[in-house]
C-alpha cells in the first residue's frame, strides 16, 4: 500500500535528513510542498490522501478537512496535536498521528539549563571573564538542593524533570490530573495544586494544551506565587493569563523563563519583554540531535504502520 499524493504543509526540505525524505517518497506516488499562506491550499487538497503538517505553522481546521475528500491520514510533526481538529477528522474516518516522547529528554534537560543559567548568572560571568575581569565580586546564586521544586503536569517530560530534580537533591512536589504512584515511591510528593503554586521556589509547567489547562495559571494563582519564585515554561503560553503575569512581573518579585514559539501575539510579547525578570529564549527546548533523529524516525514509522494497517501513535 502506498499513498497517491502526500502534501506537506509547514515542513521544509531541511526538516528531514535526505534518508528520511527517501523513505517518505517510497510511501507515495507523488509528493508536494505547500506554503502555509498559499491561496491554493484549499483547491490543492482535492486529490490528497495524506497530509503531513507542522501544527505550529498550520492549523488543520474543518474547512481544510472538508476540502480533502480523499484524505485518510494526517501526520502531525509534533507531540502536541491540539491545532488539528482531531474529532472532526475522526468523524470523516481520517487518522491523525503524533510523535510522542521524541523530545522528552531534550526539553527536560533544557529546563535545568535555563534554570541554572539564571541561578548562576552565567551570561554575566561569561561576558565579564571574556573582558579579562575574573572577579567573583557581585555574584550571588542559589542552589537547587533542598529547594521546593514544583511540577505541574507529571507526564513524560514532567516526570523526567522530576527525576532530574531529585538527582539535584530538591524537594520535588507535583500536581497532575492523576496521581502517579510510580513517581511517589521515588520520593516525588503529590501536593494540592494551590499549595504547590504558593510554596514552590521553582515551578516548571508541563501540561499539554487542552480546554482544561488553558489559562491554568490564572490571575489568582499568579498572585499566589511565592516571592522570589522562578517559573519555567517550556509548555504553551496559552496556559497562562498574560495580563496577570505582566502585573506580577512588574512587582519584580518573581522570574519567568520561557522558550518562545509562535503562541504569543507580538503585542503580548512586547508587553512582557520590557521586564528584566522575563527571560526569553528561542524555541530551542526540543532542539537536540537526538530529538531530531527520533522525530524523523517516529514520523516515518507512523506513516509506514498506518499503511500496513497497524497504526501506531493514533490520537483520534
287 part of the interface to a second copy, by CB under 8 A = yes
Instruction: Give the residue, chosen from 11, 114, 152, 230, that forms a contact with a second copy under the rule CB under 8 A.
Output: 114
What CA–CA distance (Å, rounded) separates 254 from 236?
19
Q: Three cell numbers at 140? A: 550571588
Which one, 44 or 261, has the nearer CB to a second copy? 261
Which DSSP string do the residues of 217-279 spell out, in sequence order?
Answer: B-HHHHHHSPTT-EEEE-S-GGGB-HHHHHHHHHTTS-EEEEE--TTS-HHHHHHHHT-TTEE
Which DSSP string do the residues of 164-214 spell out, in sequence order?
Answer: HHHHTT-EEEEE-SS--HHHHTTTPEE--HHHHHHH-SEEEE-----TTTT
Least Å from the CB of residue 16 to a second copy: 15
Instruction: Give the residue, chosen from 62, 70, 126, 195, that forms a contact with a second copy under the rule CB under 8 A.
Output: 126
166 part of the interface to a second copy, by CB under 8 A = yes
Instruction: Give the residue, chosen from 15, 128, 277, 316, that forms a contact with a second copy under the rule CB under 8 A.
Output: 128
CA distances from 17 to 260, 288, 309 (A): 25, 14, 26
Among the residue ranges 39-47, 149-157, 226-234, 281-289, the one whose residues contact a second copy (CB under 8 A): 281-289
Least Å from the CB of residue 128 to a second copy: 6
# residues near a second copy by CB under 8 A? 53
**Residue 2: other Cβ atoms inside 10 A:** 12
58 part of the interface to a second copy, by CB under 8 A = no
235 part of the interface to a second copy, by CB under 8 A = no
Where does this chain bind a second copy (CB under 8 A)? 105-106, 109-110, 112-114, 116-117, 119-123, 125-126, 128-130, 133-136, 139-146, 163-169, 260-262, 273, 279-284, 287-291
Amino acid at each position: 500500500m502506498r499513498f497517491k499524493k502526500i502534501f506537506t504543509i509547514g515542513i521544509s526540505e531541511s526538516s528531514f535528513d535526505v534518508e528520511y525524505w527517501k523513505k517518505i517518497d517510497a510511501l507515495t506516488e507523488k509528493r508536494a510542498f505547500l506554503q502555509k499562506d498559499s491561496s491554493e491550499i484549499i483547491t490543492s487538497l482535492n486529490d490528497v490522501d495524506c497530509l503531513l503538517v507542522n501544527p505550529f505553522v498550520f492549523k488543520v481546521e474543518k474547512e481544510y478537512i472538508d476540502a480533502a475528500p480523499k484524505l485518510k491520514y494526517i501526520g502531525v510533526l509534533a507531540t502536541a496535536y491540539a491545532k488539528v481538529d482531531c474529532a472532526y477528522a475522526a468523524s470523516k474516518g481520517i487518522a491523525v498521528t503524533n510523535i510522542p516522547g521524541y523530545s522528552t529528554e531534550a526539553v527536560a534537560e533544557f529546563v535545568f539549563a535555563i534554570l541554572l543559567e539564571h541561578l548562576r548568572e552565567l551570561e554575566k560571568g561569561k561576558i565579564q571573564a571574556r573582558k579579562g575581569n575574573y572577579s567573583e565580586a557581585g555574584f550571588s546564586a542559589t542552589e537547587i538542593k533542598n529547594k521546593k521544586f514544583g511540577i505541574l503536569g507529571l507526564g513524560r517530560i514532567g516526570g523526567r524533570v522530576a527525576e532530574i530534580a531529585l538527582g539535584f537533591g530538591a524537594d520535588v512536589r507535583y500536581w497532575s490530573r492523576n496521581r502517579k504512584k510510580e513517581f511517589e515511591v521515588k520520593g516525588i510528593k503529590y501536593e494540592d495544586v494551590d499549595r504547590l503554586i504558593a510554596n514552590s521556589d521553582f515551578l516548571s509547567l508541563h501540561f499539554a494544551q487542552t480546554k482544561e489547562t488553558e489559562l491554568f495559571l490564572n490571575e489568582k494563582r499568579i498572585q499566589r506565587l511565592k516571592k522570589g519564585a522562578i517559573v519555567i515554561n517550556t509548555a504553551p503560553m496559552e496556559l497562562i493569563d498574560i495580563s496577570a503575569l505582566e502585573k506580577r512581573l512588574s512587582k519584580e518579585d518573581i522570574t519567568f523563563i520561557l522558550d518562545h514559539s509562535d503562541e504569543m501575539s507580538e503585542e503580548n510579547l512586547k508587553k512582557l519583554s520590557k521586564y528584566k525578570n522575563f527571560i526569553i529564549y528561542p524555541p530551542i527546548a526540543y532542539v537536540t540531535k537526538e530529538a531530531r533523529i527520533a522525530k524523523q524516525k517516529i514520523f516515518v514509522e507512523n506513516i509506514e504502520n498506518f499503511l500496513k494497517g497497524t497504526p501506531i501513535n493514533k490520537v483520534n
